[in-house]
Amino acid sequence: MRTEIVSAVRAGQTSSGIQADDPSQTDRTAVVRAESSEGCAKAIKLLREGEVVALPTETVYGLAADALSVSAVAKIFEAKERPRFDPLIVHLPSRKALAEIAIVESPIASQLIEKFWPGPLTIIFRKCDVVPDIVTAGLETVAVRMSAHPVFREIVSALNRPLAAPSANRFGRVSPTTGQHVLDELDGRIPLIVDGGATEHGIESTIVRIVDDVIEVLRRGPISEGMLQPFGEVHERTSASVIKAPGQLPTHYAPNTRLALVDDLKNFSTPNGKRVGALFFRSPGGVGEPGPRSATVATGALREVKNFAAVRHLSESGNLREAAANLFRMLRELDVENLDLILAERVPGEGIGAAINDRLERASNRPAD
Ligand code: TXA
Ligand code: MG
């Protein structure tokens, strides 16, 4: 089954691969550019008809469907091959819409909403009956956020319905940060991808719940612990023993190639005869290094490049936000280099760096096969 990439100009035509009168036909995946209003209209139409559509958010691409329709949400699980016990995040058309699906019990939650929505923060609430069990995997709670991405907002506002949207990858794989990544993951399994270019943050939203006035972080993300601290005591609860949801399991977010995590890659020499790829945090000769040292470290960088079969730097200048935005793309790039091993370097643990290290840690926990 091959997929055609459709330009914005052709987006409205049936040659795009989607028959307008047969939305269930999913043997071809159309890709429409987000700037094309026809593309957004097509997404809205499909979502209204109970279909799934991949949409950009400010974190990663999501695979969206009407959160209140059991049959639409079931298609998300089918396309992703996601186990039914893994609950989904519901994305709101407006803050006001929260009251229709969840019960806000904590004033801290209200403050977090005020400060961070729309944005990359997911909050766990007690759910209302209207939210189907398939969305929450039978839990009494529901994970909710409001995306800040203009294309996502346009589409969810037009629908005026909450959208369930997990990351648009097959289960257990690295989240997609471009339309092409979604195509690589779900080609032929979904009718439409709205391509809005590379996502801003590059890693999934921070997930929190409020328990007894304590903010518990269930998944680290772009909203760091430091950003949450003004609103209350913050506890990291990211261990698998606490949450029985696969996003929090130690082996999630894995590339196919085995990955090992090290503190410092600079002095590492590759084993003979092995194709080893390197994922550095920053370029040793990059911007921000003091002048006199640059020449030496640049030579060191050359040597590193020679030793490794493939090399990526998450951020030349050592910027953690840029590193997060590049992380999943670079893991995908290294994953297709036919390597025996990817060696990745831990990044500084402050701010979003903790969330990056968390993803790398999980990627490194994949059992050898
Ligand atoms: O940035 C994001 O959050 C992206 C974009 C598309 O919004 N979505 C995303 O969804 O990462 P997903 O399904 O890949 O990850 C959602 C995580 C899962 O690990 C799931 O187990 C957890 O949220 N989750 C969902 N509902 C939950 C609940 N009621 N309690 C605890 N964890 C929950
Ligand atoms: Mg995911």
The predicted-structure confidence for 120-178, as pLDDT tens digits, reads as follows 999 999 999 999 999 999 999 999 999 999 999 999 999 999 999 999 999 988 999 99
What are the angstrom distances between the C-alpha of 216 and each of 139, 176, 212, 246? 18, 26, 10, 17
Split at pLDDT 50, 70, 90, the class of 305 is low
Task: Point out the ligand nearest to the CA of residue 76.
Answer: 1
Ligand 2 center–CA 22 separation, angstroms: 29
**What is the mean predicted confidence (pLDDT) over 204-209?**
97
Q: How far apart are CA 347 and CA 163, in angstroms?
A: 34
Q: How far apart are CA 52 and CA 45, in angstroms?
A: 11
In the predicted structure, residue 249 carries a pLDDT above the cut 60: no
Question: What's the pLDDT score for residue 250?
Answer: 56
Ligand 2 center–CA 38 separation, angstroms: 28
In the predicted structure, residue 288 carries a pLDDT above the cut 60: no
Q: Is 146 in the pocket of ligand 1 (CB under 6 A)?
A: no
Q: Which two tokens stand for residue 74?
A: 């079931």
Split at pLDDT 50, 70, 90, the class of 255 is confident
Q: Which two tokens stand for residue 26?
A: 């999913």
Ligand 1 pocket check: which of 204, 209, 328 to mutate, most ligand atoms within 8 Å of Cβ?
204
> What element of type H or E holds 40?
helix 37-48
Question: What's the pLDDT score for residue 83?
Answer: 87
Task: Point out the ligand nearest to the CA of residue 174.
Answer: 2
Evaluate whether 145 touches 91 at the Cβ level (below 8 Å): yes
Question: What's the pLDDT score for residue 300?
Answer: 54
Evaluate whether 194 touches 11 at the Cβ level (below 8 Å): no
Ligand 1 center–CA 220 separation, angstroms: 11
Question: What's the pLDDT score for residue 273?
Answer: 83
Residue 23's CB is within 10 A of a number of other CB atoms, namely 18
Ligand 1 pocket check: which of 167, 174, 178, 209 to mutate, most ligand atoms within 8 Å of Cβ?
167
Going by their DSSP bridges, the two strands 310-315 and 341-345 should be labelled as unpaired
Residue 138's CB is within 10 A of a number of other CB atoms, namely 10
In the predicted structure, residue 99 carries a pLDDT above the cut 80: yes
pLDDT above 90 as % of the chain: 71
DSSP 65: E
Evaluate whether 362 touches 252 at the Cβ level (below 8 Å): yes
Ligand 2 center–CA 252 separation, angstroms: 8
φ, ψ (nearest 5 deg) of residue 260: -120, 145
Q: Is 364 in the pocket of ligand 1 (CB under 6 A)?
A: no
Task: Point out the ligand nearest to the CA of residue 84.
Answer: 1
Ligand 2 center–CA 166 separation, angstroms: 6
In the predicted structure, residue 68 carries a pLDDT above the cut 90: yes
- Range with the poorest average pLDDT among 11-15, 54-58, 201-205: 11-15
Q: Is 88 in the pocket of ligand 1 (CB under 6 A)?
A: yes
Question: What's the pLDDT score for residue 37?
Answer: 81
Task: Point out the ligand nearest to the CA of residue 62.
Answer: 1
Atom 17, ligand 1: which residue's CA is nearest? 247
Split at pLDDT 50, 70, 90, the class of 272 is confident
Ligand 1 pocket check: which of 122, 135, 169, 352 to mutate, most ligand atoms within 8 Å of Cβ?
122
Backbone conformation region of residue 288, classed left if phi is above 0, alpha if psi is from -120 to 50, else beta: left
What are the angstrom distances between the C-alpha of 301 and each of 264, 285, 288, 340, 345? 13, 7, 15, 21, 14
Q: Is 166 in the pocket of ligand 1 (CB under 6 A)?
A: yes
Of residues 347 and 267, more confidence is placed in 347
Ligand 2 center–CA 253 separation, angstroms: 8
Question: What's the pLDDT score for residue 350?
Answer: 95
Question: What's the pLDDT score for residue 365?
Answer: 81
Q: How far apart are CA 193 and CA 33, in angstroms?
A: 8
In the predicted structure, residue 6 carries a pLDDT above the cut 90: no
**What is the mean predicted confidence (pLDDT) over 54-67?**
98
Question: What's the pLDDT score for residue 285?
Answer: 64
Q: Which two tokens stand for residue 105?
A: 């019990």
- Range with the poorest average pLDDT among 18-22, 47-51, 116-120: 18-22
- Range with the poorest average pLDDT among 63-72, 81-90, 181-190, 196-205: 81-90
φ, ψ (nearest 5 deg) of residue 278: -120, 135
213-244 tens-digit pLDDT: 999 999 999 999 999 999 999 999 865 444 44
Q: Which two tokens stand for residue 354?
A: 């903790």
